[in-house]
Amino acid sequence: MLLAVLLGCAGTSATAAPALDLTVSAGAGTQHVDKLGLVLGWTRPEPLWQGRRWRLMLRHELELANWRVANARDLLELGYSPVLRLERPLADSRATFFVEGSIGARLLSHTRVGPDHDMSTAFQFSDELRAGWTWGDQGRHTAGLRLQHLSNLGIKEPNPGINFWQLYYRYRF
């Protein structure tokens, strides 16, 4: 049943199934927080839009991350993000340059990130901007840089939010 839901969410057709990929990310955030994440993702096989040189793809990602917090308990983050990816294959190469953006939902194990930093709600929104490149046989390898902002969008005050800069590596199976 879970597989049927995942395939349905990916918007796949009967002729093409999404390739699963696994991403490892690491980075640092405001409030002296280090983050290590694991992401299970899949990309819709057909582009949403295809131009002469660029194409727009849709990815789906499930993330589990650990935040190492300097002056409070470490916390866990669980989330889902649909990701729009604008990509361009590089001339005479199997490499592809891309930029990505997403707005997703996150659930935190608790809200205290430091003595003076309380996220107020366990439910958070995640906004992300990314850039990177894909290379190798069938584009199996990806490396990139991600800027992530988490905030509860004013559901409850205070709403200080938190930002992360992360490097990541992805392998597509």
Judged against a pLDDT cut of 50, whether residue 55 lies above it is answered with yes
| Mean pLDDT in residue range 29-44 | 96
For residue 122, the surrounding DSSP H or E stretch is none
**Could you report how far apart the first and last alpha carbons of the chain are, in Å?**
21
What is the tens place of the pLDDT at every residue in 73-128?
A: 999 999 999 999 999 998 878 899 999 999 999 999 999 998 889 999 999 999 99
Distance separating alpha carbons of residues 121 and 74, to the nearest angstrom: 16
Residue 143 has a pLDDT of 99
User: For position 15, what pLDDT does the model report?
Assistant: 55
pTM of the model: 0.87
- Confidence at residue 19, expressed as pLDDT on a 0 to 100 scale: 87
* Token representation of residue 162: 């938190």
Give the angle subtended at the CA of 153 by the CAs of 147 and 155, to the nearest 5°.
Answer: 150
Domains of the chain: residue spans and CATH: 18-172 (2.40.160.20)
Euclidean distance between CA atoms 95 and 142, whole angstroms: 9
Q: Give the residue-averaged pLDDT of 2-15.
A: 48
Binned at pLDDT 50, 70 and 90, residue 4 comes out as very low
* 20 pLDDT tier (thresholds 50, 70, 90): very high
Quick one: average pLDDT of 128-146? 96
Is the pLDDT score of 14 beyond 80?
A: no
Which residue has better confidence, 157 or 6?
A: 157
